[in-house]
A and B are shown apart, each in its own frame.
Chain A
Amino acid sequence: TQLLEQSPQFLSIQEGENLTVYCNSSSVFSSLQWYRQEPGEGPVLLVTVVTGGEVKKLKRLTFQFGDARKDSSLHITAAQPGDTGLYLCAGAIDNYGQNFVFGPGTRLSVLP
């Protein structure tokens, strides 16, 4: 049983389209992180959200943490081929953040 679920599992879109991917759990997290991982590489941290209801923007990426701190979404505006990759969310399961739980990821493919 996954502590963190991500949807959709796979997403293939055309360049210029908008998309949203989701990260859901029945557990409350003290913080949640989003990473992007490219083939053959380690995950690269995109953002950390800490406060329920928090919204963070990183250029064309908008991240939202749910009010109850159980879920999060990542919205990409005008997707580009460079956005292609595996998007992982990870939740800190204790207040010290020593132990992160990762979701299975959403594999995004942006076609030119």
Chain B
Amino acid sequence: NAGVMQNPRHLVRRRGQEARLRCSPMKGHSHVYWYRQLPEEGLKFMVYLQKENIIDESGMPKERFSAEFPKEGPSILRIQQVVRGDSAAYFCASSPRPSTDTQYFGPGTRLTVL
């Protein structure tokens, strides 16, 4: 049973470009969570999605950031017009249900904005 997959593992963008981060949850998992981690800090919740629905986006910046989890295919975290402050590791986690005890994390995408 493959774990949570994220790609790319590393992404370099120049200021003003767009960044697209992909997350494929574990098989059978329909709940996806995105987190951001800055160096030497814990993870900050961004958004929680189920298939085709955004359930909670309270942690996501209002501008430039968007997320989707279509019926088919991976979940996408999209950052438009990136700035240097967007540089961070972005982690995706999935669970089979909105459970308090089974969030499985992917290896992360490390975004560097030049």
- Give A residues with C-beta under 8 Å from B: 4, 6, 30-31, 33, 35, 40-45, 48, 50, 88, 90, 92, 96-105, 107
Name, among A4, A90, A99, the residue most crowded by chain B CB atoms within 10 Å (CB to CB).
A99
Main secondary structure of the interface of B (DSSP, over half): loop
Q: Which residues of chain A are near B41, meaning CB under 8 Å? A: 104-105
- Cβ-Cβ contact count across A and B, 8 Å cutoff: 67
- Are A101 and B106 in contact (CB-based, < 8 A)? no
List of A residues within 8 angstroms of B105 by Cβ: 35, 42-45
Interface size class of B (residues with CB under 8 A): 20 to 34
Residue in A30, A31, A45 with the greatest tally of chain B CB atoms within 10 Å: A45
CA distance A35 to B101 in the complex (A): 11
Do the beta carbons of B45 and A99 come within 8 Å of each other? Answer: yes
- The reply to whether B107 and A48 form a contact with Cβ atoms under 8 Å apart is no
A residues in contact with B59, CB < 8 Å:
99
Q: Is the CB of A41 within 8 A of B42?
A: no
A30 to B58 alpha-carbon distance, docked (Å): 19
- Please indicate the chain A residues that have their CB under 8 angstroms from the CB of B103 in the complex: 33, 45, 100
| Selected A-B contacts with CB under 8 Å, 10 pairs | A42-B108, A43-B91, A88-B43, A92-B100, A96-B98, A97-B99, A98-B55, A99-B45, A100-B33, A100-B103
